[in-house]
Chains A and B, each alone.
Chain A
Amino acid sequence: MAEVIKCATRDAYGRTLVELGDRGANIIVLDADLAEATKTGMFKKAYPDRFVDVGIAESNLMGIAAGLAATGHTVFASSFAMFAAGRAFEQIRNSIGYPHLNVKIGATHAGISVGEDGASHQCCEDIALMRTIPGMVILNPADDIEARACVLAAAEHDGPVYMRFGRLAVERVFDENYKFEIGKGNILSDGTDVTVIASGLMVGEAVTACKKLKEEGISARVVNMATIKPIDRDIIIDSAKKTGAIVTAEEHSIIGGLGSAVSEVVCETVPVPVVRVGVNDVFGKSGPAVELLHIFGLDADNIVKKAKQAIELKK
């Protein structure tokens, strides 16, 4: 059996910032006193002259990022998802989104898998918030390979990007040959009875769920949707047509995230049942990350259950 590689997407974020520096990319990295945790500390160590810690002031973090971008710089601004998308929402909306400035927000510690810190830090609303900002690109990678690809793509992209990374080390889904493109989902395995559309750490769970469903004679397509905005309408419509039922899976509130984005496309094009796996409009709580994921139904078993429900709704 091949060795299982586990890595947190935040680690890939830090490493890829250094890689961008090594390539000579003219980036500036900002953090708000969380450089060790967000992993921008790796960049700080390698390129101290291109790193600025603004201190515990996320609103000002985004404003400074906007000002730097307005003077022609490509800026990566980092904090935890709760404080980046949450506290600084309006700064992102008005100072970055409205003028469409070249700021790449690296938001780490997203979702329930923050673990022991509990509800105050478990941000399950960030994608919903960011989706409402016109022109914002939202990327939620599944593993370290995809996280690296997202950071490289964000650096090339002209305009604001919100990148969502996790604290927890997760199993690798992709291999080194993986090709990522903003706005494109990809089919990890094809099937005919139901489609599971997943993002972030739920992609690995979706792959496991697909195997379990197969053992029960159910053929599931698995779609990895790393770009939440702009959402890949074509792959959703194709999946709705070919499988007639969809389950979405995300480590985010069922309100406003991937589940909502997929439902919006399905409702307006090929209305088929959509059942959402996510955080069910509740706050999180403290506990070990993996245990919490099971408690909140963010696992393969729940995807299997919801897939059967979706298939049942077809009838």
Chain B
Amino acid sequence: MDSIRKKELQVFAAKARMGVIEGVYNAKAGHPGGSLSICDILAYLYNCEMNIDPKNPKCETRDRFVLSKGHAAPALYAVLALKGFFPYEDLKTLRKSNSYLQGHPNMNKVPGVDMSTGSLGQGISAAVGMALGAKFDNSDYRVYTVLGDGELEEGEVWEAAMFAGNKGLDNLVALVDFNNLQIDGTIDEVNSAYPIADKFKAFNWHVIEIDGHDFEEIENALNEAKNTKGVPTCIVMKTVKGKGVSYMENACGWHGKAPNEEQYNQAVSELNAKLEELEA
């Protein structure tokens, strides 16, 4: 990956993080921690990987994205807005009663959202159905879904994983946001899903483990997924919950809480500093 492209992606991801903070702060509610941890993967997917067209969001041959961890909607909305699916200013209406930007993604209200999600474990099943749909149609679009690591505690995830592995859905990529935190504590404290990679391997998936904030590793993993035939690919991304906002990083308490004004100002100034550093 050349340095210019890498910098462009870093700038996009920083802007997406700004969008997350704007949305959650104005909503006075939402899930900043798990949104910030997936901004880099979304930046890569929507800029470099997926075949999408913001002017034709329902194009039948487009690649699909399912946010199985639907509570990270602020990140998805920020990325969609930055891509031009809808105005960036609308992010400030997140979770308001007159807004189309619902607390969790709604495919019928938000341009660019391919599946309504929010109840954990269900998104991956829908993504499997979409991948199966592509096979039925002999279409070559691909399906990407992002799961939380805590979400792996839902039994439906493994029903879906077992089916996708057995059917060899090689047009499906599941990306696990492995930040090791869930609401009630760390993953291993609450109900450990470890070892995550071995579990997916046992379900007949090709598994790649990467740093979820390293664009080169993201690119290499997604290319490897594309070249993997006959089985679906799971990319376990080691991430930092709250990434990019110092006081939110690796802090369990920022799973589902909005910053106050002072905290908002600090987050914005940190992200602006990052952007200035990148754009210098």
Contact = CB atoms under 8 A, between A and B. Distances in A.
Contacts of B107: 70, 99
Interface string A43-60: 000000010101101011
Interface string B123-165: 0111111111110110000000000000000011001101100
A16 B165 CA distance: 32
Contact of B130 (A62, A67, A90): A67
Contact of A64 (B116, B129, B137): B129
A91 B136 contact: no
A67 B159 contact: no
Contacts of B276: none
Interface residues of B, number: 32
Interface string A15-27: 0000000000000
A138 B106 CA distance: 24
A65 B126 CA distance: 7
B60 interface: yes
Given A28-B136, A64-B129, A66-B126, A99 B108 contact: yes
Contacts of A68: 129-130, 132-133, 136
Contact of A57 (B114, B129, B162): B162
Given A99-B108, A100-B108, A63 B122 contact: yes
A98 interface: yes
Given A54-B163, A68-B130, A71-B64, A94 B122 contact: yes
Nearest to B121: A59
A217 interface: no
B78 interface: no
A248 B134 CA distance: 46
Nearest to B139: A71
Interface string A143-164: 0000000000000000000000
A98 to B, nearest CB: 5
A63 B136 contact: no
A91 B137 contact: no
A277 B66 CA distance: 45
B162 to A, nearest CB: 7
Contacts of A99: 106-108, 115-116
Contacts of A57: 156, 159, 162-163
Interface centre among B116, B125, B126, B131 (most CB of A within 10 A): B126
A264 B129 CA distance: 38
B73 to A, nearest CB: 14
A72 B126 contact: no
A67 B125 CA distance: 7
A152 to B, nearest CB: 22
Given A64-B129, A66-B125, 20 more contacts: A54-B163, A55-B163, A59-B121, A59-B156, A59-B159, A60-B159, A63-B124, A63-B128, A63-B160, A64-B126, A67-B130, A67-B133, A70-B126, A71-B64, A71-B130, A72-B133, A90-B119, A95-B115, A95-B122, A98-B106
Interface of A: 28, 50, 52, 54-55, 57, 59-60, 62-73, 90-91, 94-95, 98-100
18 contacts: A55-B162, A57-B156, A57-B163, A59-B156, A63-B122, A64-B129, A65-B129, A66-B125, A67-B129, A68-B130, A70-B130, A71-B133, A71-B134, A91-B122, A94-B116, A94-B118, A95-B115, A99-B107
